[in-house]
Chain A
Amino acid sequence: MLKSLRVRLVRGKQFIPDVRAARPAGFRGLPVIQPGPCGDCRACIEACPTGAITNDPLAIDLGRCTFCAECVAACPDGKITLTTEPRMGAVTRAGLVVKAGDEAATRVRAHDAFRRLFARSLKLRQVSAGGCNGCELELNATANVNFDLQRYGIEWVASPRHADALVLSGTLTRTMQDAVRLAWDAMPEPRFVVAVGACAISGGLYDGAPGVARGFFDEVTPALYVPGCPPHPLTFVNAILDFLGVP
């Protein structure tokens, strides 16, 4: 008993008081692109492992980006920098594309109907299908003593029948197709899908790999995209709060 009290005393308060303003030191987050032409240079495009970069004008698709910063090292003109900004995400696939002077476009817009329904209570069911345990560990971390997602009335639940949103991570594998479908079908309406991480959003590093089958996304379009490889817990928490219009 005394030992437990001592542990509790040393632990003190661990929660991040303002998750909306937190900027994790050292984090590779939202890219910023300097304007101006690139000429024939394709160094960043060639360095990118997931084909996230296009030019004319230079743009980065955060739905493919793994935030590895190979492009930053490759660019001879230093046109790309990664900030520590964790607040990224979009409600459309196109909204994840960052261009020069256009970073704010990736901010999540609140969904009015879902705000009215879920802003005070949201239950999430996570399903991993080809996730590497990076996204899964970071999603678990959203509920730990540091990020404490529950303070907003948002909780991870065990059954899809209790869930309002299906949070998908991983590339979606051929062998998980039926299970993902079953989980979605078991959820009562209204419901929505959140795609978490480069794998779920675009296939990421495994786009086109032989075990990947993404047919589920032909039928169901995510309402929210949370980029990263894996996304920082702050990226996920902020994207959900923005989506629900929570200040």
Chain B
Amino acid sequence: MTSVLVHRAAAAAVEMLEIGPWRTRLLERARAGQRVVTMYGRPEGERVLLTVVHQDGARLSVARTVVSPALGYHELTSDLPGLHCFERELHEQLGVRIAGHPWLKPIRFQGKDQAAMASYPFYRVDGKEVHEVAVGPIHAGVIEPGSFRFMCFGEHVLHLEVHQGYQHRGFEAHVLKRDPRTLAPWAETIAGDTSAAHAWAYAAAIEQLAGVDVDPEVELARAVALELERIAMHLSGLAGMASDIGFLPGAATYGRLRTTAINTSLRLCGSRFSRGAVRPGGSGMALDGELLALAQSNVELLRHDTALIDDAFLSARTVRHRLGGVGVVTTETAEQLGLVGMAARSAGVAIDARVPDHGLYARFPLPIRTEPSGDCWARARLRIAEIEASLAWLRTVLAEPRTWKPSRGVLPALPPSQLAIAVVEGWRGEVVHCLETGSDGALLHYKAQDPSLRNWMGVALAVRGNEISDFPICNKSFDLSYCGNDL
């Protein structure tokens, strides 16, 4: 049994419905509490094959339908607003008509140049003294490009429109040119700060396709890489938030503690960004007596020093005042929008692909943390709580003597016409990879999904009603990926 969520089926065995029953089934399942994990399409002849994936506990289920792009289907976003991004993507990638959809803005202006992005008609708010503020795609810091358009009344933000696509490289089409068993380096760079999660999702999916099981100890090594990545990026985000509000002890200390976390990854897998930590059929993580002692001592240092800075950060009146009540996403909004991961959990929605009692998380439980208030304060507190939980988990895992040697599996040729899906909880949220082989066993379709795709709308709604000067901390508190959205 794998520890991440997986599903494999022969393409012919996947539930195939007419568009009407498919819609009805999708809505019924969603109402019964089966979340939509992803919805995507691929061309099949003149028509488009739609796939929806639901999650029920640790179980994933798939249903498909075929539509003609010209006829399309009636939108689902009004019933399930969280599907807005999937329907927009279907329209953008495959030209599927989605009748009645409220807002078919391109997700990433795929295949277009900047002229198309520059002439895009933004949503407008009319009124005396209403003005627009445009920022990006290049920002003042050393960060990825993306663009934001604010509709403001004075300092007050009425609406924010997120405008992405500047990072679109074309991952999905690009990787189809290669042997599907060698794609780990590309998976690692879908969002290069989430390498372990994306590589694990890719590896789990390709292992399902190839019918290969991995050793539990290999899975544990991958899970250690995943938690180190989570700790490092949460520390990075806290350093950024502390810096944005001028709390310099936090900026400096969280920053240098991140160095300790990523240098631990460097020692175990040769990369500060977990590159090579996960390979199909194996893991690049190494552990012997010396490295175990080093990892243990780094975990203890992180536990000790984070406790001190967390206390200073959370008890500072200025920090609480600056973050509390800013950028609120209510539990209801988070559920409606289909937010995932950290953004959902800090609004009281307990979604986590590290399902308790499933796979290695039964052996080494990792409690899911939530925060109720959905503001910047909650997102900071959640990151602190998750660092603490992951460090405690690492301490337990590393308490026993373990030896890992870097390993790589030799995967057989892939069987034809199979679909495999894997979901891994990266530090931002669930990473979803769907791979399908064609009748010749070659890769027919690679659908990769970073949690940022669903969570950007959370940022847009969080800043409504706030002052525009609060945008940087709102944005940093979500800490979303631009390239993960743009692919």
Residues of A within 8 A of B289 (CB): none
Report the bound CA distance from A171 to B182 in whole Å. 21
Q: Which residue of A lies closest to B183 (CB)?
A: A49
Whether A178 and B114, one on each chain, are in contact in the complex, defined by CB atoms closer than 8 angstroms, is yes
**Known pairs A49-B182, A175-B109; A140 contacts B192 (CB<8 A):** no
**Known pairs A27-B270, A132-B191, A141-B259; A173 contacts B169 (CB<8 A):** yes
- A139 smallest CB distance to B (angstroms): 5
Report the bound CA distance from A171 to B115 in whole Å. 19
**Known pairs A26-B266, A132-B192, A134-B189; A176 contacts B114 (CB<8 A):** yes
Report the bound CA distance from A9 to B218 in whole Å. 39
Which of B144, B190, B256 is close to A11, meaning CB atoms less than 8 Å apart? B256
Whether A132 and B190, one on each chain, are in contact in the complex, defined by CB atoms closer than 8 angstroms, is yes
Whether B483 and A131, one on each chain, are in contact in the complex, defined by CB atoms closer than 8 angstroms, is yes
- Interface-located stretch among A55-63, A109-117, A122-130: A122-130
Answer whether residue B315 sits at the interface, using C-beta atoms and an 8 A cutoff. Answer: yes
Whether A139 and B142, one on each chain, are in contact in the complex, defined by CB atoms closer than 8 angstroms, is yes
Q: A121-176: which residues lie under 8 A (CB-CB) from chain B?
A: 126-141, 144-146, 156, 158-159, 170-171, 173-176
Residues of A within 8 A of B171 (CB): 206, 209
Residue of B169, B253, B275, B408 with highest tally of chain A CB at under 10 A: B169
Answer whether residue B113 sits at the interface, using C-beta atoms and an 8 A cutoff. Answer: yes
Whether A158 and B145, one on each chain, are in contact in the complex, defined by CB atoms closer than 8 angstroms, is no
Report the bound CA distance from A135 to B169 in whole Å. 16
Q: Which residue of B lies closest to A204 (CB)?
A: B189
Number of residues of chain B lying within 8 A (CB) of chain A: 65
Whether A171 and B408, one on each chain, are in contact in the complex, defined by CB atoms closer than 8 angstroms, is no
Whether A68 and B137, one on each chain, are in contact in the complex, defined by CB atoms closer than 8 angstroms, is no
Whether B114 and A175, one on each chain, are in contact in the complex, defined by CB atoms closer than 8 angstroms, is yes
- A229 smallest CB distance to B (angstroms): 7
Whether A24 and B266, one on each chain, are in contact in the complex, defined by CB atoms closer than 8 angstroms, is yes
Whether A6 and B270, one on each chain, are in contact in the complex, defined by CB atoms closer than 8 angstroms, is no
Whether A133 and B256, one on each chain, are in contact in the complex, defined by CB atoms closer than 8 angstroms, is no
Q: Which residue of A lies closest to B304 (CB)?
A: A10
- B482 smallest CB distance to A (angstroms): 8
Report the bound CA distance from A225 to B109 in whole Å. 30
Residues of A within 8 A of B114 (CB): 174-179
Q: A6-54: which residues lie under 8 A (CB-CB) from chain B?
A: 6-8, 10-11, 14, 24-28, 49-50
- A122 smallest CB distance to B (angstroms): 15
Whether A136 and B144, one on each chain, are in contact in the complex, defined by CB atoms closer than 8 angstroms, is yes
Residue of B137, B171, B190 with highest tally of chain A CB at under 10 A: B137
- Interface-located stretch among B93-101, B305-313, B363-371: B305-313
Answer whether residue A220 sits at the interface, using C-beta atoms and an 8 A cutoff. Answer: no
Q: Which residue of A lies closest to B115 (CB)?
A: A178
Answer whether residue A190 sits at the interface, using C-beta atoms and an 8 A cutoff. Answer: no
Which of B165, B185, B486 is close to A68, meaning CB atoms less than 8 Å apart? B185
Whether B142 and A28, one on each chain, are in contact in the complex, defined by CB atoms closer than 8 angstroms, is no
Whether B312 and A7, one on each chain, are in contact in the complex, defined by CB atoms closer than 8 angstroms, is yes
Residues of A within 8 A of B141 (CB): 140, 156, 158
Number of residues of chain A lying within 8 A (CB) of chain B: 63
Report the bound CA distance from A173 to B103 in whole Å. 26
Answer whether residue A104 sits at the interface, using C-beta atoms and an 8 A cutoff. Answer: no
Report the bound CA distance from A123 to B348 in whole Å. 44
Answer whether residue B111 sits at the interface, using C-beta atoms and an 8 A cutoff. Answer: yes
Residues of B within 8 A of A176 (CB): 114, 137, 145, 166-167
Q: What is the total of A-B residue contacts with beta carbons within 8 Å?
A: 184
Whether A210 and B173, one on each chain, are in contact in the complex, defined by CB atoms closer than 8 angstroms, is yes
**Known pairs A6-B308, A27-B270; A128 contacts B144 (CB<8 A):** yes
Answer whether residue A202 sits at the interface, using C-beta atoms and an 8 A cutoff. Answer: no
Residues of A within 8 A of B110 (CB): 211
Answer whether residue A230 sits at the interface, using C-beta atoms and an 8 A cutoff. Answer: yes
Whether A127 and B145, one on each chain, are in contact in the complex, defined by CB atoms closer than 8 angstroms, is yes
Whether B144 and A68, one on each chain, are in contact in the complex, defined by CB atoms closer than 8 angstroms, is no
Residues of B within 8 A of A238 (CB): none
Answer whether residue A183 sits at the interface, using C-beta atoms and an 8 A cutoff. Answer: yes
Report the bound CA distance from A133 to B452 in whole Å. 13
Q: Which residue of B lies closest to A24 (CB)?
A: B266
Answer whether residue B128 sits at the interface, using C-beta atoms and an 8 A cutoff. Answer: no
Answer whether residue B59 sits at the interface, using C-beta atoms and an 8 A cutoff. Answer: no
Report the bound CA distance from A126 to B140 in whole Å. 9
Report the bound CA distance from A6 to B138 in whole Å. 38
- B118 smallest CB distance to A (angstroms): 8
Report the bound CA distance from A127 to B140 in whole Å. 10
Answer whether residue B186 sits at the interface, using C-beta atoms and an 8 A cutoff. Answer: yes
Whether A145 and B252, one on each chain, are in contact in the complex, defined by CB atoms closer than 8 angstroms, is yes
Whether A24 and B263, one on each chain, are in contact in the complex, defined by CB atoms closer than 8 angstroms, is yes
Report the bound CA distance from A106 to B170 in whole Å. 31
Answer whether residue B255 sits at the interface, using C-beta atoms and an 8 A cutoff. Answer: yes
Q: Which residue of A lies closest to B408 (CB)?
A: A73
Whether A128 and B192, one on each chain, are in contact in the complex, defined by CB atoms closer than 8 angstroms, is no
Which of B167, B185, B267, B305 is close to A49, meaning CB atoms less than 8 Å apart? B185
Whether B113 and A128, one on each chain, are in contact in the complex, defined by CB atoms closer than 8 angstroms, is no
- Chain A window 165-209, contacts with chain B (Cβ cutoff 8 Å), 1 for yes, 0 for no: 000001101111111000100000000000000000000011011
Residues of B within 8 A of A141 (CB): 259
Which of B113, B193, B312 is close to A134, meaning CB atoms less than 8 Å apart? B193
Which of B113, B185, B266 is close to A174, meaning CB atoms less than 8 Å apart? B113
Residues of A within 8 A of B193 (CB): 132-134, 137
Which of B113, B266, B271, B308 is close to A10, meaning CB atoms less than 8 Å apart? B308
Which of A128, A159, A205 is close to B145, meaning CB atoms less than 8 Å apart? A128
Residues of A within 8 A of B315 (CB): 3
Whether B483 and A130, one on each chain, are in contact in the complex, defined by CB atoms closer than 8 angstroms, is yes
- Chain B window 108-138, contacts with chain A (Cβ cutoff 8 Å), 1 for yes, 0 for no: 0111111101100000000000000000011
- Chain B window 145-168, contacts with chain A (Cβ cutoff 8 Å), 1 for yes, 0 for no: 100000000000000000001111
Q: Which residue of A lies closest to B185 (CB)?
A: A49
Which of B142, B144, B165, B312 is close to A3, meaning CB atoms less than 8 Å apart? B312
Answer whether residue A90 sits at the interface, using C-beta atoms and an 8 A cutoff. Answer: no
Answer whether residue B236 sits at the interface, using C-beta atoms and an 8 A cutoff. Answer: yes
Q: Which residue of B lies closest to A127 (CB)?
A: B138
Whether A130 and B138, one on each chain, are in contact in the complex, defined by CB atoms closer than 8 angstroms, is no
Q: Which residue of B lies closest to A178 (CB)?
A: B114
Whether A156 and B142, one on each chain, are in contact in the complex, defined by CB atoms closer than 8 angstroms, is yes
Report the bound CA distance from A25 to B264 in whole Å. 10
Which of B167, B259, B272, B304 is close to A144, meaning CB atoms less than 8 Å apart? B259
18 contacts between A and B (CB under 8 A): A7-B249, A24-B266, A49-B185, A68-B185, A73-B408, A127-B138, A131-B167, A136-B144, A137-B193, A170-B167, A174-B114, A176-B137, A178-B115, A205-B185, A206-B174, A211-B486, A213-B113, A232-B272
Closest 5 pairs (CB-CB, A-B) = A132-B192, A134-B192, A210-B170, A158-B140, A209-B174
Other A-B contacts than A10-B304, A210-B174, 4 sampled, CB-CB below 8 A, are A69-B270, A132-B192, A178-B114, A178-B118
